[in-house]
Protein backbone atom coordinates (compact mmCIF):
# COMPACT_ATOMS: atom_id res chain seq x y z
CA UNK A 1 0.00 0.00 0.00
CA UNK A 2 1.45 3.38 -1.04
CA UNK A 3 2.24 6.13 1.42
CA UNK A 4 -0.31 8.32 -0.36
CA UNK A 5 -3.07 5.78 0.20
CA UNK A 6 -2.12 5.35 3.86
CA UNK A 7 -2.22 9.11 4.36
CA UNK A 8 -5.61 9.35 2.67
CA UNK A 9 -7.00 6.57 4.86
CA UNK A 10 -5.62 8.15 8.03
CA UNK A 11 -7.10 11.53 7.04
CA UNK A 12 -10.48 9.86 6.50
CA UNK A 13 -10.35 8.21 9.94
CA UNK A 14 -9.40 11.49 11.65
CA UNK A 15 -12.30 13.29 10.01
CA UNK A 16 -14.72 10.47 10.81
CA UNK A 17 -13.67 10.51 14.47
CA UNK A 18 -14.11 14.28 14.60
CA UNK A 19 -17.57 13.97 13.05
CA UNK A 20 -18.56 11.27 15.57
CA UNK A 21 -17.29 13.41 18.43
CA UNK A 22 -19.40 16.34 17.22
CA UNK A 23 -22.42 14.08 16.69
CA UNK A 24 -22.24 12.71 20.23
CA UNK A 25 -22.18 16.18 21.81
CA UNK A 26 -25.44 17.20 23.42
CA UNK A 27 -27.18 19.98 21.52
CA UNK A 28 -28.78 22.40 23.99
CA UNK A 29 -32.30 23.61 23.49
CA UNK A 30 -32.50 27.04 21.90
CA UNK A 31 -34.94 29.20 23.86
CA UNK A 32 -36.40 32.65 23.37
CA UNK A 33 -37.72 35.14 25.90
CA UNK A 34 -41.25 34.84 24.50
CA UNK A 35 -41.62 38.50 23.51
CA UNK A 36 -42.47 37.60 19.91
CA UNK A 37 -45.58 35.72 21.07
CA UNK A 38 -46.47 38.00 23.98
CA UNK A 39 -46.56 41.25 22.01
CA UNK A 40 -48.55 41.25 18.78
CA UNK A 41 -46.91 44.54 17.73
CA UNK A 42 -43.41 42.97 18.06
CA UNK A 43 -42.03 45.86 20.12
CA UNK A 44 -39.58 43.49 21.78
CA UNK A 45 -38.02 42.21 18.55
CA UNK A 46 -35.45 43.48 16.07
CA UNK A 47 -37.28 44.89 13.04
CA UNK A 48 -34.79 47.22 11.35
CA UNK A 49 -35.03 47.07 7.57
CA UNK A 50 -38.76 46.41 7.54
CA UNK A 51 -41.48 49.06 6.99
CA UNK A 52 -42.58 50.88 10.15
CA UNK A 53 -45.59 53.01 10.99
CA UNK A 54 -44.83 56.69 10.50
CA UNK A 55 -46.73 57.69 13.67
CA UNK A 56 -45.58 55.13 16.23
CA UNK A 57 -42.47 53.67 14.63
CA UNK A 58 -43.81 50.15 15.13
CA UNK A 59 -43.15 47.51 12.51
CA UNK A 60 -45.79 46.48 9.98
CA UNK A 61 -47.00 43.14 11.45
CA UNK A 62 -47.63 41.65 8.00
CA UNK A 63 -44.08 42.48 6.93
CA UNK A 64 -42.68 40.90 10.09
CA UNK A 65 -44.72 37.73 9.49
CA UNK A 66 -43.49 37.62 5.89
CA UNK A 67 -39.92 37.80 7.17
CA UNK A 68 -40.57 34.89 9.55
CA UNK A 69 -42.01 32.82 6.69
CA UNK A 70 -38.97 33.55 4.55
CA UNK A 71 -36.64 32.52 7.38
CA UNK A 72 -38.58 29.28 7.92
CA UNK A 73 -38.52 28.36 4.23
CA UNK A 74 -34.87 27.35 4.42
CA UNK A 75 -33.17 27.20 1.03
CA UNK A 76 -36.26 28.52 -0.79
CA UNK A 77 -35.81 32.14 -1.79
CA UNK A 78 -38.92 33.74 -0.27
CA UNK A 79 -37.21 36.97 0.75
CA UNK A 80 -38.41 38.65 -2.43
CA UNK A 81 -41.95 38.54 -1.06
CA UNK A 82 -41.05 40.41 2.15
CA UNK A 83 -42.44 43.99 1.93
CA UNK A 84 -39.71 46.61 1.66
CA UNK A 85 -39.88 50.09 3.17
CA UNK A 86 -39.68 53.22 1.05
CA UNK A 87 -36.24 54.72 1.58
CA UNK A 88 -33.87 56.76 -0.56
CA UNK A 89 -30.98 54.29 -0.36
CA UNK A 90 -31.68 51.08 1.52
CA UNK A 91 -29.23 48.70 3.11
CA UNK A 92 -29.25 45.07 2.06
CA UNK A 93 -29.86 42.26 4.52
CA UNK A 94 -26.70 40.36 5.37
CA UNK A 95 -26.75 36.54 5.53
CA UNK A 96 -30.37 36.14 6.66
CA UNK A 97 -30.14 32.36 6.19
CA UNK A 98 -26.79 31.96 7.94
CA UNK A 99 -28.43 29.69 10.51
CA UNK A 100 -28.87 27.01 7.85
CA UNK A 101 -25.13 26.81 7.16
CA UNK A 102 -23.06 23.97 8.66
CA UNK A 103 -19.72 24.53 10.36
CA UNK A 104 -16.91 22.16 9.40
CA UNK A 105 -14.54 23.39 12.11
CA UNK A 106 -15.38 23.21 15.80
CA UNK A 107 -18.90 22.61 17.07
CA UNK A 108 -21.87 23.22 14.82
CA UNK A 109 -23.59 26.56 15.40
CA UNK A 110 -26.66 24.72 16.73
CA UNK A 111 -24.51 22.93 19.32
CA UNK A 112 -24.03 26.09 21.36
CA UNK A 113 -26.63 28.33 22.95
CA UNK A 114 -26.90 31.45 25.06
CA UNK A 115 -29.51 32.51 27.60
CA UNK A 116 -32.46 34.41 26.13
CA UNK A 117 -32.46 38.19 26.36
CA UNK A 118 -34.50 39.72 29.19
CA UNK A 119 -38.10 40.46 28.24
CA UNK A 120 -38.71 43.97 27.00
CA UNK A 121 -40.98 44.78 29.96
CA UNK A 122 -38.62 43.46 32.67
CA UNK A 123 -36.57 45.34 35.24
CA UNK A 124 -33.46 43.69 33.79
CA UNK A 125 -34.15 45.16 30.33
CA UNK A 126 -34.86 48.53 31.92
CA UNK A 127 -31.53 48.37 33.73
CA UNK A 128 -29.71 47.64 30.48
CA UNK A 129 -31.51 50.56 28.79
CA UNK A 130 -30.54 52.93 31.60
CA UNK A 131 -26.90 51.88 31.26
CA UNK A 132 -27.00 52.42 27.48
CA UNK A 133 -28.49 55.90 27.90
CA UNK A 134 -25.71 56.81 30.33
CA UNK A 135 -23.12 55.43 27.91
CA UNK A 136 -24.54 57.73 25.24
CA UNK A 137 -24.49 60.75 27.56
CA UNK A 138 -20.89 60.05 28.59
CA UNK A 139 -19.56 58.98 25.21
CA UNK A 140 -17.20 61.97 25.01
CA UNK A 141 -15.85 61.61 28.55
CA UNK A 142 -12.37 60.08 28.61
CA UNK A 143 -12.08 56.72 30.34
CA UNK A 144 -9.55 58.10 32.83
CA UNK A 145 -12.05 60.78 33.95
CA UNK A 146 -14.76 58.41 35.18
CA UNK A 147 -13.57 58.89 38.78
CA UNK A 148 -13.77 62.70 38.63
CA UNK A 149 -16.43 63.63 36.07
CA UNK A 150 -19.66 64.80 37.74
CA UNK A 151 -21.90 63.21 35.12
CA UNK A 152 -20.05 59.91 35.56
CA UNK A 153 -20.70 60.14 39.30
CA UNK A 154 -24.42 60.66 38.60
CA UNK A 155 -24.37 57.62 36.32
CA UNK A 156 -22.79 55.49 39.04
CA UNK A 157 -25.39 56.64 41.58
CA UNK A 158 -28.25 55.97 39.16
CA UNK A 159 -27.03 52.48 38.25
CA UNK A 160 -26.63 51.59 41.93
CA UNK A 161 -30.26 52.55 42.52
CA UNK A 162 -31.62 50.14 39.88
CA UNK A 163 -33.62 47.17 41.16
CA UNK A 164 -32.06 44.78 38.63
CA UNK A 165 -28.64 45.70 37.25
CA UNK A 166 -26.55 42.88 35.81
CA UNK A 167 -23.36 44.79 35.04
CA UNK A 168 -20.04 44.28 36.84
CA UNK A 169 -19.69 45.54 40.39
CA UNK A 170 -17.20 45.56 43.24
CA UNK A 171 -18.72 44.56 46.56
CA UNK A 172 -22.15 44.77 44.95
CA UNK A 173 -21.62 48.40 43.91
CA UNK A 174 -20.96 50.10 40.58
CA UNK A 175 -17.75 52.13 40.89
CA UNK A 176 -15.56 54.20 38.53
CA UNK A 177 -13.51 51.03 38.05
CA UNK A 178 -16.56 48.99 36.92
CA UNK A 179 -18.52 51.63 35.00
CA UNK A 180 -19.47 50.40 31.49
CA UNK A 181 -17.08 47.43 31.65
CA UNK A 182 -17.75 43.86 30.58
CA UNK A 183 -18.26 40.78 32.71
CA UNK A 184 -15.49 38.50 31.38
CA UNK A 185 -12.64 37.43 33.69
CA UNK A 186 -10.05 40.18 34.09
CA UNK A 187 -12.34 42.97 32.82
CA UNK A 188 -11.95 45.01 36.03
CA UNK A 189 -8.16 44.83 36.18
CA UNK A 190 -6.17 47.89 35.18
CA UNK A 191 -7.23 50.84 33.02
CA UNK A 192 -10.38 50.72 30.92
CA UNK A 193 -8.54 50.40 27.61
CA UNK A 194 -6.19 47.48 27.00
CA UNK A 195 -2.59 48.27 26.13
CA UNK A 196 -3.07 46.05 23.08
CA UNK A 197 -5.15 48.85 21.55
CA UNK A 198 -2.35 51.35 22.14
CA UNK A 199 0.82 49.55 21.04
CA UNK A 200 2.02 49.65 17.44
CA UNK A 201 1.57 46.37 15.57
CA UNK A 202 4.65 44.91 13.81
CA UNK A 203 3.58 43.19 10.59
CA UNK A 204 6.50 41.98 8.53
CA UNK A 205 8.35 45.04 7.30
CA UNK A 206 5.40 47.26 8.28
CA UNK A 207 4.49 48.93 11.54
CA UNK A 208 0.77 49.56 11.97
CA UNK A 209 -0.17 52.48 14.19
CA UNK A 210 -3.29 52.03 16.32
CA UNK A 211 -4.31 55.66 15.96
CA UNK A 212 -7.62 55.75 14.15
CA UNK A 213 -9.94 58.21 12.47
CA UNK A 214 -12.20 59.25 15.34
CA UNK A 215 -15.68 60.72 15.07
CA UNK A 216 -16.08 64.38 15.93
CA UNK A 217 -17.18 64.94 19.52
CA UNK A 218 -20.47 66.58 20.55
CA UNK A 219 -22.19 65.67 17.28
CA UNK A 220 -25.50 63.84 17.65
CA UNK A 221 -27.29 61.68 15.11
CA UNK A 222 -30.92 60.53 14.72
CA UNK A 223 -32.22 63.16 17.14
CA UNK A 224 -35.15 63.99 14.83
CA UNK A 225 -38.08 61.60 14.39
CA UNK A 226 -37.75 61.42 10.61
CA UNK A 227 -34.03 60.63 10.76
CA UNK A 228 -34.57 57.86 13.30
CA UNK A 229 -37.48 56.37 11.34
CA UNK A 230 -35.46 56.35 8.12
CA UNK A 231 -32.68 54.36 9.79
CA UNK A 232 -35.24 52.02 11.36
CA UNK A 233 -36.60 51.44 7.87
CA UNK A 234 -33.12 50.51 6.67
CA UNK A 235 -31.87 53.79 5.21
CA UNK A 236 -28.17 53.60 4.36
CA UNK A 237 -26.55 56.60 6.07
CA UNK A 238 -22.94 55.63 5.35
CA UNK A 239 -20.84 58.60 4.36
CA UNK A 240 -22.60 61.02 6.70
CA UNK A 241 -20.23 60.51 9.65
CA UNK A 242 -18.06 63.46 10.66
CA UNK A 243 -14.43 62.67 11.54
CA UNK A 244 -11.66 64.46 13.37
CA UNK A 245 -8.81 65.45 11.06
CA UNK A 246 -6.17 64.15 13.51
CA UNK A 247 -5.80 60.38 14.04
CA UNK A 248 -6.05 59.52 17.73
CA UNK A 249 -5.78 56.62 20.11
CA UNK A 250 -9.11 55.37 21.48
CA UNK A 251 -9.87 57.46 24.56
CA UNK A 252 -13.63 57.41 25.17
CA UNK A 253 -16.86 55.64 24.37
CA UNK A 254 -17.41 57.44 21.08
CA UNK A 255 -13.94 56.41 19.85
CA UNK A 256 -14.55 52.81 20.88
CA UNK A 257 -17.92 52.80 19.10
CA UNK A 258 -16.25 54.14 15.95
CA UNK A 259 -13.71 51.30 16.14
CA UNK A 260 -16.42 48.60 16.15
CA UNK A 261 -18.75 50.52 13.84
CA UNK A 262 -16.52 50.14 10.80
CA UNK A 263 -15.82 46.45 10.27
CA UNK A 264 -12.38 46.15 8.66
CA UNK A 265 -13.58 43.29 6.43
CA UNK A 266 -16.84 44.70 5.12
CA UNK A 267 -17.15 48.43 5.79
CA UNK A 268 -15.42 51.47 4.40
CA UNK A 269 -15.35 54.90 6.00
pLDDT score recorded for residue 41: 94
Q: What angle do CA 77, 82, 84 make, to 5 degrees?
A: 130
pLDDT score recorded for residue 268: 56
What DSSP letter does each residue of 115-181 carry, written as one string? PPPPPTTSHHHHHHHHHHHHHHHTTTSBGGGTTT-HHHHHHHHHHHT-SS--S--BTTB--TTTTT-
Count Cβ atoms below 10 Å from residue 47 Cβ, excluding itself.
22
E strand or H helix at 232, and its extent?
helix 225-232
DSSP state of 109: G
Residue spans of the domains in the chain: they are 1-118, 195-261
DSSP SS3 for 59:
strand
pLDDT score recorded for residue 10: 94
Closest C-alpha to 155, from 174, 172, 169: 174
Over the chain (269 residues), what is each successive 10-residue block's mean pLDDT? Answer: 85 92 87 94 94 95 94 80 87 84 84 92 96 96 96 98 95 96 91 90 95 92 93 89 92 93 65
* pTM, entire model: 0.85
pLDDT score recorded for residue 117: 93
pLDDT score recorded for residue 265: 59
Amino acid sequence: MSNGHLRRKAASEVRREAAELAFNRMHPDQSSNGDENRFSNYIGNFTKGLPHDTTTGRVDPAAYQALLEALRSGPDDDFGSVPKPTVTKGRKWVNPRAGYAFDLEGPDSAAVAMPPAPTVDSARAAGEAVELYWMALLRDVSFDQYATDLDAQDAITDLNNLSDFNGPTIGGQVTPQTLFRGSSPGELVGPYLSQFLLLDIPFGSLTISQKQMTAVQNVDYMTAWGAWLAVQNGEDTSGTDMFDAAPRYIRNGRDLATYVHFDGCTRRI
